[in-house]
Amino acid sequence: MPAAGAGPLVFGLLQRLVAAGLAERGALLATRTLANFLVGAAISDRGRGFGATGVPGLDTVRVGMAYDEDLAHRIRELLADEGGVTEKAMFGGLAFLVGGNMAVGISNTDELMVRVGPDATDAALSRPHTRLFDMSGRPMKGWVLVAREGMKTKRQLAPWVERGVRFARTLPAKG
């Protein structure tokens, strides 16, 4: 994984954004670019035109991103004050782990995966826009999927993220 070169790369990106007069936007883009880079995105400085970053000469190329980046950013914002949170590519999407245990994730169909625990599955499924998480024809009790309609706003998304974190914190920490 190219994490060792990510620091200088992000620093260089931030320098270019500051030079282009986009300092505030630069901090956000640098953070998102680093996140993309660490989970499989490639960054290419091709020296031509305006790329996806809006900065002359700098393009970003997404590789292997099978999940909704905006949803990932919204979840990161909600988890910003939580300790022990890590991200991991999983299930063709992106998982957010707390203490090494998955709390929530984004499926490759851009649904929110929430780990609620076996005892809370039925209550979670009684909520609108939910269904049981089913991996390859094998339903997984304790996990639900929330459709886009059920997480359009921060007010809708936050309780699901909190629920997943709350359950993950009941489990013994891993590694």
- Looking at the chain, the whole-number percentage of residues with pLDDT higher than 70 is 63
pLDDT at 91 over 90: no
**Pick the residue with more confidence: 108 or 21?**
108
- Give yes or no for residue 78 having a pLDDT over 50: yes
Give the pLDDT of residue 41: 35
**Strand partners for 130:** 146
Cβ–Cβ under 8 Å, residues 112 and 153? no
- Global confidence as pTM: 0.64
What is the average per-residue pLDDT within 135-162? Answer: 94
For the chain, what percent of residues have pLDDT higher than 90?
Answer: 53
User: What is the CA angle 38-103-64, rounded to 5?
Assistant: 30
- Distance set, CA 1 to CA 38, 89, 110 (Å): 7, 12, 24
Cα torsion 149, 152, 155, 161: sign: positive
Residue type, 8: P
Residues constituting the chain: 175
1, 97, 137, 175 from 172: Cα distances, Å: 28, 12, 28, 10
Closest to 165 in 3D by CA, of 105, 88, 108: 105
In this prediction, residues 59-83 reach a mean pLDDT of 80
pLDDT band at 19 (very low <50, low <70, confident <90, very high): low
